[in-house]
Amino acid sequence: MQLTVIRADDSITHVAILGRLDIEGVNAIADKFVFNTSAQRKATLVDVSQVTFIASLGMGMLVGAAKALQRHGARMVLVGPTHLVQQALATAGIDHVIPIAATEAEALEMLR
């Protein structure tokens, strides 16, 4: 499990998650994820294109960060989920809470 910060400036945070967002994966990156997303209180793009599996705990981590950002007037957009991850997010209704974009360009447009 890996979390990489792609961009962090005054206007946006862009991170990428690689691996499985199951209990072990979430435990491995949760603190770093919160520090680099919701704690920054600015527009956040989360690349999930390399996430191979997402469990309810992983969804909870994403929703928690998205709601914390919303409380500070910022938004989070998920980018490029695989078909399996997209299905899991849609089944859980996460796509009603966090916008999901197919591409980085689409995500940046959603954050404007």
Q: What is the mean pLDDT of residues 49-62?
A: 98
Q: How far apart are CA 45 and CA 99, in angstroms?
A: 10
Report the percentage of the chain scoring pLDDT > 90. Answer: 99
CATH code at position 33: 3.30.750.24
Alpha helices in 12-94 (DSSP H): 23-36, 56-71, 83-92
Select from 24, 15, 74 the least CA-distant residue to 49: 15
User: What's the predicted TM-score (pTM) here?
Assistant: 0.96
- The CA-CA-CA angle for residues 34, 35, 41, to 5°, reads 85
pLDDT at 40: 95
Q: Are 61 and 25 in contact (CB under 8 A)?
A: no
Which range marks the domain in which residue 35 is found? 2-111
Neighbours of 30 (CB within 10 A): 18
| Residue 112: pLDDT over 90 | no
- Count of the separate structural domains present in the chain: 1
Q: What is the pLDDT of residues 19-40, one digit of tens each?
A: 999 999 999 999 999 999 999 9
